[in-house]
A and B are shown apart, each in its own frame.
Chain A
Amino acid sequence: MLEKIRYFIRRALRNMRQWPVLCSAAILTMAVALATMATFFLVVLNIQGLATNWSQEIQVVAYFKTPPPRNQRAKLIQQVEAFVDVNQVVFISPTEALKRFSTRLGDDAGLLEGVSRTLLPASLEIRLKSGSHSREGVERVVAELKKDSRFNDVRFGQEWLERFENFVNLLKFAGLFLGSLFLLAALFIVSNTIKLTLYARRDELEIMALVGATKRFIQIPFLLEGALQGFAGGLLALGFLWLSFKLLLEKGLHSFWLTPVGFDPIFLSTEQQFMLVFSGVLLGLLGSLASLRKFVRL
């Protein structure tokens, strides 16, 4: 058994050495296909990461018609905090609002001198639970708040949120679509490359069949070869991805988002890296299986 496995591996390796051009062509094709798919995956992963990061910032602001009396504030906050989607509520008094405004004005804060302390309305700043950072979550909270006549106006980045969600959905769809397209293309190219190597070795296949080799005996080294090439292609793709991640994404993102967004670009997790290489092996196996079925007829 062990002897047989060693024999098959030896034959697969020597076949690869014997046809270096075809072998590297197969490896490169798979590497390109896998790297393309993985790049797309990585981009979607990062944009989603960025999106969740941003959506932490989503909050609903409800402005009061008239500032509520001091003794009612705690009860009001409790009421709103009891909503399923709400995490935390902060009361902003007109004084507090004015103070914030003046800090934002910075050097121009002098403009506000002499202005009434109740110029700005009092408001509630409502932070949502992490599961509710979606359009639906925001809309539920807003609908609840609008029932209360004490609020004058309820603000939230609805339009922005909607657009962003659509964008992420589009990206996911495009990733899935292009991903499967690339997968098919890779499978096709790999199976044809392997068909080419089989064609180059048809004498060998014929003679093996002639001296009484079973179908499986003939096929196993080729399958092994496909798997090995897929493995190499997967590793190559991973290396390429990591390099371009280091060079482009990490540096590029940092200079692109001038202000630090508190978001570090994500690379594939260990499991995802493993999956990438494993997909290579699978791709090679399937590719050689597809062409062998047509080629090795006894």
Chain B
Amino acid sequence: MIQLFNVTKAYGKESVALREMSVHIEKGEFTYVTGPSGAGKTTFLSMLYGASRPTRGQILIDGINITRMARRQIPFLRRKIGVVFQDFKLLNSRSVYENVAFALEAQGKKRYEVSKKVYQALKEVGLEHRLQRRPIELSGGEQQRIAIARALVVDPLILLADEPSGNLDLEVTLEIMELFKRANARGTTVLLATHDNSLYQRFPKRVLGLEAGRLVMDHQP
């Protein structure tokens, strides 16, 4: 599903965020990406959904070489990928419903189809009773669940999560892990960047360890 061949990402001459990284991730895998701050986790994930391009090397997603991809093709890559961030990236001027519907509307889905899917996705994360609220009126955990609903409502092949529980307490983190595991069980490939070691002790899965831009560990439980 995801293949990297000698991928290097440099910002200017001095700062190299990733060095010669090669890795294969199979369809349906659940993978942690760990490492200290500045190791290159965010850089790695951002290249997978076309937010930045590698300086050298090739990346294949679902068999397509995205390093050669034309700019106008990137939206179509992103439709296969759901992304979740530490800071949620929700629109506080919009209702919960609209926030989730956004992802489907962007793909030009029909209105009746949108409402059905949005409701299902919100039910999946247990927030179907919050449809008309604004995200800002909800707790951090609820907001992150909305962001996850938005990422999953399009049935993505891949789910990328960058420190999704960075701002949340343990109980909420466990709820969110449950959502990721369920998505994974339905066949979505999940990549979760975190520096929280307790997570993979609790839910042992494959771990990619980064340090100063190098892949220093690839551990299968």
Contact of A211 among B71, B72, B78, B111 (CB under 8 A): B78
Query: In the complex, A209→B111 CA distance in Å?
Result: 20
Q: How far is the CB of B41 from chain A (nearest CB, A)?
A: 18
A window 173-210: CB within 8 A of B: 203-204, 206-210
A104 lies within 8 A of chain B by Cβ: no
B107's nearest neighbour on chain A, judged by CB, is A212
A298 lies within 8 A of chain B by Cβ: yes
A206's nearest neighbour on chain B, judged by CB, is B89
B window 107-151: CB within 8 A of A: 107-108, 110-111, 150
The reply to whether B91 and A7 contact each other, CB–CB distance below 8 Å, is: no
Query: In the complex, A75→B77 CA distance in Å?
Result: 93
A54 lies within 8 A of chain B by Cβ: no
A window 199-246: CB within 8 A of B: 203-204, 206-215, 217
Query: In the complex, A298→B105 CA distance in Å?
Result: 18
Task: Chain B residues near A215: list those with CB within 8 A.
Answer: 72, 75
Query: In the complex, A214→B74 CA distance in Å?
Result: 8
The reply to whether A212 and B75 contact each other, CB–CB distance below 8 Å, is: yes
A3 lies within 8 A of chain B by Cβ: yes
The reply to whether A214 and B111 contact each other, CB–CB distance below 8 Å, is: no
Residue among B74, B106, B150 with the highest chain A CB neighbour number at 10 A: B106
A211's nearest neighbour on chain B, judged by CB, is B103
B154 lies within 8 A of chain A by Cβ: yes
- Interface size of A by CB at 8 A reads 18
The reply to whether A210 and B108 contact each other, CB–CB distance below 8 Å, is: no
Q: How far is the CB of B131 from chain A (nearest CB, A)?
A: 17
The reply to whether A18 and B105 contact each other, CB–CB distance below 8 Å, is: no
Q: A3-B110, A4-B108 are in contact. Are A213 and B75 (CB under 8 A)?
A: yes
A215's nearest neighbour on chain B, judged by CB, is B72
The reply to whether B91 and A210 contact each other, CB–CB distance below 8 Å, is: no
B102 lies within 8 A of chain A by Cβ: yes
A window 1-51: CB within 8 A of B: 3-4, 7, 18
Q: How far is the CB of A273 from chain B (nearest CB, A)?
A: 37
B11 lies within 8 A of chain A by Cβ: no
B94's nearest neighbour on chain A, judged by CB, is A204
Task: Chain B residues near A206: list those with CB within 8 A.
Answer: 89
The reply to whether B74 and A298 contact each other, CB–CB distance below 8 Å, is: yes
Query: In the complex, A253→B9 CA distance in Å?
Result: 74
Task: Chain B residues near A3: list those with CB within 8 A.
Answer: 110-111
Q: How far is the CB of B119 from chain A (nearest CB, A)?
A: 18
Query: In the complex, A213→B150 CA distance in Å?
Result: 14
The reply to whether A212 and B79 contact each other, CB–CB distance below 8 Å, is: yes
The reply to whether A207 and B91 contact each other, CB–CB distance below 8 Å, is: yes
Task: Chain B residues near A4: list those with CB within 8 A.
Answer: 108
Question: B57-78 interface mask toward A, CB cutoff 8 Å, 1 = contact, 0 = none?
Answer: 0000000000000011011111
Query: In the complex, A27→B152 CA distance in Å?
Result: 40
The reply to whether A214 and B91 contact each other, CB–CB distance below 8 Å, is: no
The reply to whether B71 and A208 contact each other, CB–CB distance below 8 Å, is: no
Query: In the complex, A4→B105 CA distance in Å?
Result: 9
Query: In the complex, A234→B71 CA distance in Å?
Result: 37
Q: How far is the CB of B114 from chain A (nearest CB, A)?
A: 10
Residue among B71, B108, B110 with the highest chain A CB neighbour number at 10 A: B108
The reply to whether B102 and A207 contact each other, CB–CB distance below 8 Å, is: yes
Q: How far is the CB of B129 from chain A (nearest CB, A)?
A: 24
Task: Chain A residues near B79: list those with CB within 8 A.
Answer: 211-212
Task: Chain A residues near B91: list those with CB within 8 A.
Answer: 203-204, 207
B99's nearest neighbour on chain A, judged by CB, is A207
Task: Chain A residues near B107: list those with CB within 8 A.
Answer: 211-213
B108's nearest neighbour on chain A, judged by CB, is A4
Contact of A217 among B77, B103, B106, B150 (CB under 8 A): B106
B198 lies within 8 A of chain A by Cβ: no
Query: In the complex, A85→B76 CA distance in Å?
Result: 72
Residue among B72, B75, B105, B154 with the highest chain A CB neighbour number at 10 A: B75
Query: In the complex, A209→B72 CA distance in Å?
Result: 11
Query: In the complex, A4→B77 CA distance in Å?
Result: 22
Task: Chain A residues near B83: list those with CB within 8 A.
Answer: 210
Task: Chain A residues near B103: list those with CB within 8 A.
Answer: 211-212
Q: A211-B78, A213-B75, A215-B75 are in contact. List 4 more A-B contacts (CB 8 A).
A: A209-B75, A211-B102, A213-B107, A214-B72
Please name 21 pairs of A and B residues whose Cβ atoms are closer than 8 Å in the assembled complex, sorted by A: A4-B108, A7-B111, A18-B93, A207-B89, A207-B91, A208-B106, A209-B78, A210-B78, A210-B83, A211-B79, A211-B106, A211-B107, A211-B150, A212-B75, A212-B78, A212-B106, A214-B75, A217-B75, A217-B106, A217-B108, A298-B75
Give A residues with C-beta under 8 Å from B.
Answer: 3-4, 7, 18, 203-204, 206-215, 217, 298
